[in-house]
């Protein structure tokens, strides 16, 4: 049923799941027809023939920055806008104007070379060394990590792996570094290893599913063991106003509450 202006996109239980687990899954967040239109554009840019698996010679092909109508519409449905408001706060995020990186994954026995656990760091990206890119305790430059499924993704189709609740440990690791934050290289040494042993989830679902994730959520790619190429976008939701962990207002957005809870600043 389509949302009206009074229908919440997320239940109270889903918001609590986001705070505790670091992510929430939205089925049917955008129409399958838009996924089909977008995938046709992406197939052309891969240089592969969708009807000829012999042309699928690489384990992953990375495509970037799509501003065509199907992508922008997919990122701006009423369901998603309401969910952004619920997790980040009204007028605290920027309307997506493009769809970011697409790591298109194909079934292969070859190591894709990018299956390490990490968070998506969000500033200092002018440095050509991506291990020097940074994140800080207020998640400068990003208020959500988002996973948009543009194809059906099953267990064998290289679904993104998620360490449930890992955003809490990353918050505790980042806090002492203040506004300067830490580089991805520093987090890989101190922070990411501390999340080992946490339970895992995988980002499976039908085309049109979106996973809205805390920006500190630890996640990983994995090799594709299925038969259907996987089309997934992982754009950030950008801030209109930065996150704030200490302010005079009595209420905090769930993305902030998750950090405050991890640091023991509840209330």
Nearest to 84 by CA among 168, 15, 164, 170: 15
User: Would you state the pLDDT for residue 1?
Assistant: 42
User: Would you state the pLDDT for residue 267?
Assistant: 47
User: Would you state the pLDDT for residue 257?
Assistant: 96
Whose tokens are 């990590």? That residue is: 145
Residues comprising the chain, all counted: 267
User: Would you state the pLDDT for residue 250?
Assistant: 66
Cα radius of gyration rounded to whole Å, the chain: 18
With a CB cutoff of 8 Å and minimum separation 6, the contacts of 231 are: 35, 38, 39, 42, 102, 104, 149, 150, 151
User: Would you state the pLDDT for residue 215?
Assistant: 98
Burial class (CB in 10 A: 0-12, 13-18, 19+), 77: buried
- Say how far apart CA 79 and CA 8 lie, in whole Å: 8
Whose tokens are 């298109």? That residue is: 104
Q: Any bridge partners for residue 23, and if so which?
A: 213
pLDDT along the chain (267 residues), means of 10: 64 97 98 98 97 95 96 98 97 95 92 89 93 96 98 97 98 96 95 96 98 98 94 96 83 96 79
User: Would you state the pLDDT for residue 84?
Assistant: 98
User: Would you state the pLDDT for residue 265?
Assistant: 73
């Amino acid at each position: 049923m389509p949302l009206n202006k009074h229908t919440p996109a997320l239940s109270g239980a889903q918001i609590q799941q986001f705070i505790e687990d670091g992510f929430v899954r939205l089925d049917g967040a955008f129409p399958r027809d838009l996924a089909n239109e977008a995938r046709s554009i992406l197939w052309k840019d891969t240089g592969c023939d969708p009807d000829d698996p012999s042309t699928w010679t690489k384990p992953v092909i990375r495509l970037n920055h799509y501003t065509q109508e199907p992508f922008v519409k997919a990122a701006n449905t009423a369901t998603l806008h309401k969910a952004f408001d619920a997790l980040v706060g009204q007028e605290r995020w920027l309307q997506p104007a493009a769809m970011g990186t697409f790591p298109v994954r194909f079934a292969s026995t070859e190591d894709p070379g990018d299956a390490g656990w990490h968070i998506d760091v969000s500033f200092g990206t002018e440095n050509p060394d991506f291990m020097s890119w940074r994140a800080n305790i207020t998640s400068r430059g990003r208020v959500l990590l988002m996973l948009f499924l543009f194809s059906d993704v099953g267990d064998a189709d290289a679904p993104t792996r998620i360490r449930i609740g890992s955003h809490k440990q990353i918050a505790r690791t980042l806090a002492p570094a203040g506004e300067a934050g830490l580089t991805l290289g520093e987090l890989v040494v101190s922070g990411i290893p501390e999340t080992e042993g946490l339970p895992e989830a995988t980002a499976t679902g039908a085309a049109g599913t979106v996973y809205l994730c805390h920006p500190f959520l630890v996640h990983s790619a994995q090799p594709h063991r299925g038969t259907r190429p996987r089309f997934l976008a992982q754009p950030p939701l950008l801030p209109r106003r930065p996150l704030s962990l200490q302010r005079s207002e009595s209420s905090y957005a769930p993305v902030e509450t998750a950090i405050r809870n991890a640091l023991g600043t509840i209330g």
